[in-house]
A = this chain, B = another copy of it.
Amino acid sequence: MLLIEMFVFIGTIAFAISGSLLAIQKRLDIFGVILLGLTTALAGGVIRDLMIGNIPPTNLAEPQYFLVSLLASLATILFYERIEKVTYSISLFDAIGLGVFTAVGANAALSFEFSQPFLIIAMGLVTGIGGGVLRDVFVQEIPQVFRKEVYGLASIAGSAALILSDDFVTPILSLYICLTVTFTIRMLALKWKW
């Protein structure tokens, strides 16, 4: 339980940074930078919670995820000038968030006793891409998941790995496997411009 929560924090921080970096690039003001960070970090989980019936959504009911996102956005604003390759950094943090949130989302479906493989993959995908889709829509970009072949596919492969490994290893280990598969595929795609 504790480990899953630590995962969620890592994904939250990564997505908040990716949203804030994009907002800075788009020249939004400070509140806009923070809000786009928050949206990217929290929206995927909120949408998934609506879909599995976890009401009110954890990300809105408990302030710690908001606070962590807020700190990550503020840190991004402070250290922005030191980050040289902004576009690459957005993709890197986005890949971490995608991996973590796919794992957390697929796991949330399982823990709500939804065991159909398709629903688990769908919940991993929605949680993994939801925040990024809203982030891109709000600053007038076609969402990344529609422009990059190996983005949604990475999430789908990760959730498939989680489902396949779930019978053989502990839940935490299959979370790790899902995260690693998703993140690795996404990073390879970035490196080789798939």
Contact = CB atoms under 8 A, between A and B. Distances in A.
Interface of A: 23, 26, 28-32, 35-36, 46, 50-53, 55-57, 60-63, 66, 114, 116-119, 122-123, 126, 133, 137-140, 142-143, 145-153
A61 B116 contact: yes
A36 B146 CA distance: 7
Contacts of A53: 55-56
Given A53-B56, A137-B138, A31 B61 contact: no
B147 A29 contact: yes
Contact of A114 (B52, B56, B149): B56
Contacts of A61: 114, 116, 118-119
A139 B142 contact: yes
B55 A52 contact: yes
B140 A31 contact: no
Contacts of A138: 133, 137, 142-143, 146
Nearest to A64: B118
A153 B34 CA distance: 11
